[in-house]
């Protein structure tokens, strides 16, 4: 006897759940599960086998049904499960929102048994993946594709076949920016193009939102590539204005004993090798892919056991203030020591666990480990600094996210200011408005939000305009390119300057050398993380490390604007410093080269440069030229000092980039006011830029 059809009822009202449960008396082939909250529903989804149908209350104010729908849609394991939405006649707006998530049907409340029974039977037998044809495109659904392809392979055992697994990369942006209707029309055109190109020599289907698959006869070598090129050329005509691309994983069928689902998995696996390929958007399943596939299947099979047996563990990497070089925080990083595969990089298993939602369970483990460390330090009287934890893309769609975090903090009696949340820029690309809403809610509840890997995607500037974040973590790839790419340095400078204008703190990851550290300090980066200061360390070592730190966080000393005075005559330098007074911090250099040496380590502290024109080793003109060439120093205003008769030198210095002139012998009062005025102008320009950015932020 086969397994019963599982129906999950998610409804806040006992009486409504009871009405639906009565159907089980007439249909013993149905197995019902009940949940009165979204949290309980998520627990059942994780602990039970995948349901065949979900009956979801979308109108109760005590149950966020739309957030659960969003979670189901984003989770590959559950997106194919049909959902019947319980609604009310006056709830048109919420019903329209639910329809966008692709619910199978609506059922009006209060429920009655006959209507509910008919609705359930219809949804089970024709909805989701159970129907033979996809309702939007007319292609086979996943289950039907598996069955039809298996039949074709059995009946044509002597022929060669190849499976092609297609993905529309960045297609989610089409729905977000152009609307669901436009996206659906494109999917229908792609489906009809695929069906027409088959020439009745294969089977094709739509297995997920933007995933298509086909199995075609390949009589001659290269037939499969020809079909891909046929599809790619036609999709390119559709995609040019929407900025999505067609990717393909190709599996030449060499083992007909495999299930068709496993064949599709191999095609999808080959698809993973397309990432990073710029010219060709297709890849074949081969021996290397097979080994990778085997390892991934091993990781999937072993992960639950690994979590319970302690194979997963958390390490902590301290973060340092860029100026005073003291610990200001740490990041919690998960590691997996597998008994066969050894220590596995998170880059290998995190994307895999995001596909079916297991990443949320792993993230919960990491969050709790971070709270345990904070609680241990608090109990022992050690130094408490904020620990940042990663919040994955799937977590953001989890309706219980904020409540889960608050419960965890309450359990260990930790204040929110000690647990920072890191989200990645790529999550914004996939679902910008949803992410903005979730992040805004988290910030309203008092959580600090960090944007990880900032600068890695094309949406960076637009994200800065819309996303309410507190800290930017600059993509570590920039650190690796600082010495070889001047453009990388210029981009980092621009990011930090923009962040300062928006009052957003910055953290640079992956800092490994003194040169990188000095560069970041000089351009105003707030905090630094990397091997230069400390490697990630186990929890016990991190606690010991923090026990040696002062309990109260050391603050930067009172800030005075820095003035760099460059003149080869000591008495002139001293008299100018005396005239300007004690409201500044002073740096002295006898020539241009000494000035550049000072700037290498102290540029972030220097607000203005006052330089003589004629000096040995490097004169003032050459110094101004080098300062203007270097983007780190080019924003620092320069005043030149000349004798009153040297009008040509004065004009030359101004043309090179100096902003004002002090003539010798100078008047102390005049010199003091000139310096103040130049600093005021620089501050006014900074404020003007800030107003411009804020105005742009408010324009949609």
pLDDT tens digits for range 179-212: 778 888 888 999 999 988 887 789 999 987 788 9
Going by C-alpha positions, the residue among 316, 310, 314 that lies closest to residue 382 is 316
What average pLDDT does range 5-13 have in this prediction?
92
Report pLDDT digits (tens) over 615-646.
999 999 999 999 988 888 888 899 998 886 67
How many percent of the chain have pLDDT more than 70? 90
370 — pLDDT class (breaks 50, 70, 90): very high
d(CA 570, CA 477): 44
d(CA 270, CA 274): 7
Residue 316's H or E segment, with its range, is strand 312-321
d(CA 129, CA 208): 9
Domain 5-130 CATH class label: alpha beta
DSSP for residue 182:
H
Contact in structure between 377 and 384 (CB atoms under 8 Å): yes
d(CA 36, CA 131): 29
Count of beta carbons in the 10 Å neighbourhood of residue 223: 15
- For 146-180, the three-class secondary structure string (H helix, E strand, C coil) is HHHHHHHHHHCCCCCEEEEEEEEECCHHHHHHHCH
d(CA 120, CA 52): 10
Query: Is residue 697 over pLDDT 70?
Result: no
Segment of 537-541, 554-558, 682-686 carrying the highest mean pLDDT: 537-541
Q: Is the CATH code 3.30.470.10 the one for domain 304-547? A: no
Residues 6+ apart with CB under 8 A from 609: 563, 564, 566, 595, 627, 636, 637, 638, 639
Higher-confidence residue of 661 and 468: namely: 661
Report pLDDT digits (tens) over 142-153.
888 998 999 999
pLDDT of residue 445: 93
d(CA 129, CA 126): 8
Residues 6+ apart with CB under 8 A from 55: 7, 8, 9, 10, 11, 20, 83, 84, 86, 107, 120
- Local structure of 59: helix, strand or coil: coil
d(CA 568, CA 575): 13
Q: Look at the block and give the residue holding tokens 């639950």.
A: 304
d(CA 28, CA 656): 88
What average pLDDT does range 572-591 have in this prediction?
90
Report pLDDT digits (tens) over 582-605.
889 999 999 999 999 999 888 888
- CATH, range 142-285: 3.30.70.270
> What does pLDDT average to over the chain?
85
| 179 dihedral zone (left: phi>0; alpha: psi -120 to 50; beta) | left
Q: Which CATH number fits domain 562-688: 3.20.20.80, 3.40.640.10, 3.40.50.2300, 3.10.20.30?
A: 3.40.50.2300
- Local structure of 333: helix, strand or coil: strand
Query: Is residue 693 over pLDDT 60?
Result: no
Query: Is residue 334 over pLDDT 90?
Result: yes
Transcribe 388-448 into DSSP letters: EEE--HHHHT-TTHHHHHHHHHHHHT--GGGEEEEEEHHHHHHSHHHHHHHHHHHHHTT-E
Residues 6+ apart with CB under 8 A from 634: 627, 628, 657
Residue 212's H or E segment, with its range, is strand 211-217
pLDDT of residue 364: 95
129 — pLDDT class (breaks 50, 70, 90): very low
pLDDT of residue 130: 42
420 — pLDDT class (breaks 50, 70, 90): very high
d(CA 223, CA 221): 6
What average pLDDT does range 327-332 have in this prediction?
96
d(CA 20, CA 461): 50
Which residues in the chain are classed under CATH 3.40.50.2300?
5-130, 562-688
Give strand pairing partners of 314: 334
Alpha helix (H) residue ranges in 48-112: 65-74, 92-100
Segment of 300-309, 496-505, 663-672 carrying the highest mean pLDDT: 300-309
Q: Look at the block and give the residue holding tokens 């290269």.
A: 222
d(CA 270, CA 285): 5
Query: Is residue 478 over pLDDT 90?
Result: no
3-state helix, strand, coil split of the chain in percent (to 5) is 50, 20, 30
Going by C-alpha positions, the residue among 230, 328, 302 that lies closest to residue 526 is 328
pLDDT of residue 128: 42
Q: Look at the block and give the residue holding tokens 């209350």.
A: 57
What average pLDDT does range 36-43 have in this prediction?
89
CA atoms within 13 A on the CB side of 411: 12
Which residues in the chain are classed under CATH 3.20.20.450?
304-547
9 — pLDDT class (breaks 50, 70, 90): very high
Going by C-alpha positions, the residue among 200, 210, 123 that lies closest to residue 167 is 210
Q: How far is residue 539 CA from its own chain's centroid?
A: 26
Give strand pairing partners of 252: 162
> Does the predicted TM-score (pTM) go above 0.85?
no
pLDDT of residue 318: 97
Count of beta carbons in the 10 Å neighbourhood of residue 534: 17
Report pLDDT digits (tens) over 222-236.
899 999 999 998 888
Q: Look at the block and give the residue holding tokens 């990188």.
A: 516
Higher-confidence residue of 399 and 331: namely: 331
Q: How far is residue 257 CA from its own chain's centroid?
A: 40
354 — pLDDT class (breaks 50, 70, 90): confident
DSSP for residue 666:
P
Range of lowest pLDDT (65-69, 428-432, 470-474): 428-432
CA dihedral 358, 364, 365, 369 (to 10 degrees): 160
Q: How far is residue 412 CA from its own chain's centroid?
A: 28
Reply yes or no: is the peptide bond before residue 665 cis, omega within 30 of 0: yes
DSSP for residue 101:
T
Q: Look at the block and give the residue holding tokens 């044509």.
A: 156
Residue 127: φ, ψ to 5°? -95, 170
């Amino acid at each position: 006897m086969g397994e019963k059809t599982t129906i999950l009822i998610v409804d806040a009202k006992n009486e409504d759940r009871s009405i639906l449960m009565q159907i089980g008396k007439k249909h013993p082939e149905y197995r019902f599960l009940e949940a009165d909250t979204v949290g309980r529903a998520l627990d059942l989804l994780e602990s039970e086998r995948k349901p065949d149908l979900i009956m979801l209350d979308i109108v109760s104010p005590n149950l966020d049904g739309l957030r659960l729908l969003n979670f189901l849609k984003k989770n590959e394991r559950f997106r194919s499960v049909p959902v019947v939405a319980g609604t009310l006649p006056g709830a048109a707006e919420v019903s329209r929102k639910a329809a966008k998530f692709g619910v199978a049907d609506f059922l009006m409340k209060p429920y009655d048994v006959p209507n509910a029974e008919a609705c359930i039977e219809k949804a089970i037998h024709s909805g989701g993946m159970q129907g033979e044809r996809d309702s939007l495109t007319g292609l086979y659904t996943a289950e039907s594709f598996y069955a039809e392809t298996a039949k074709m392979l059995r009946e044509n055992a002597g022929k060669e076949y190849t499976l092609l697994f297609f993905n529309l990369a960045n297609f989610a942006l089409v729905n977000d920016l152009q609307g669901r209707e436009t996206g659906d029309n494109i999917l229908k055109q792609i489906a009809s193009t695929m069906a027409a190109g088959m020439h009745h020599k294969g089977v094709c289907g739509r297995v997920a939102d933007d995933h298509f698959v086909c199995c075609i006869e390949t009589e001659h070598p290269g037939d499969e590539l020809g079909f891909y090129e046929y599809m790619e050329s036609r999709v390119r005509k559709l995609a040019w204005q929407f900025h999505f691309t067609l990717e393909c994983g190709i599996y030449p069928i060499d083992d007909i004993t495999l299930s068709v689902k496993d064949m599709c998995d191999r095609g999808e696996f080959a698809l993973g090798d397309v990432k990073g390929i710029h010219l060709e958007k297709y890849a074949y399943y081969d021996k290397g892919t097979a080994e990778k596939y085997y390892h991934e299947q091993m990781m999937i099979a072993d992960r639950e056991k690994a979590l319970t047996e302690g194979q997963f563990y958390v390490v902590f990497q301290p973060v340092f203030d860029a100026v005073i070089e003291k610990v200001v925080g740490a990041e919690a990083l998960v590691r997996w020591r597998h008994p066969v595969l050894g220590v596995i990089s998170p880059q290998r298993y995190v994307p895999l666990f995001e596909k079916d939602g297991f990443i949320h369970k792993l993230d919960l483990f990491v969050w709790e480990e971070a709270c345990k460390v904070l609680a241990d330090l608090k109990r022992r009287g050690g130094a408490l600094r904020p620990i940042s934890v990663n919040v994955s893309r799937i977590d953001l769609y989890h309706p219980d996210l904020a409540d889960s975090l608050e419960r965890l903090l309450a359990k260990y009696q930790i204040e929110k200011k000690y647990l920072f949340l890191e989200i990645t820029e790529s999550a914004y690309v996939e679902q910008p408005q949803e992410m903005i809403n979730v992040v805004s809610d988290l910030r309203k509840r008092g959580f600090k939000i960090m944007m990880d890997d900032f600068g890695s995607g094309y949406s960076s500037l637009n994200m800065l305009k819309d996303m309410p974040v507190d800290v930017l973590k600059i993509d570590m790839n920039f650190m690796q390119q600082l010495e070889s790419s001047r453009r990388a340095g210029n981009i980092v400078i621009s990011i930090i300057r923009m962040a300062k204008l928006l009052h957003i703190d910055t953290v640079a990851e992956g800092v490994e050398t003194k040169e990188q550290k000095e560069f970041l300090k000089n351009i105003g980066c707030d905090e630094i993380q990397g091997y230069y200061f400390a490697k990630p360390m186990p929890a016990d070592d991190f606690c010991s490390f923090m026990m040696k730190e002062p309990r109260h966080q050391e603050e930067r000393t009172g800030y005075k604007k820095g003035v760099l005075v460059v003149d080869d005559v000591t008495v002139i330098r001293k008299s100018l410093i005396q005239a300007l007074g004690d409201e500044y911090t002073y740096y002295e250099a006898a020539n241009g080269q000494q000035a550049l040496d000072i700037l290498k380590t102290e540029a972030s502290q220097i607000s203005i440069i006052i330089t003589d024109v004629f000096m040995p080793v490097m004169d003032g003109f050459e110094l101004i030229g080098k300062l203007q060439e270097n983007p780190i120093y080019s924003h620092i205003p320069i005043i030149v000092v000349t004798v009153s008769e040297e009008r040509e030198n004065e004009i030359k210095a101004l043309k090179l980039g100096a902003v004002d002139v002090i003539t010798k012998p100078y008047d102390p009062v005049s010199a003091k006011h000139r310096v103040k005025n130049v600093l005021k102008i620089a501050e006014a320009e900074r404020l003007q830029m800030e107003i411009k950015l804020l105005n742009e932020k408010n324009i949609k």
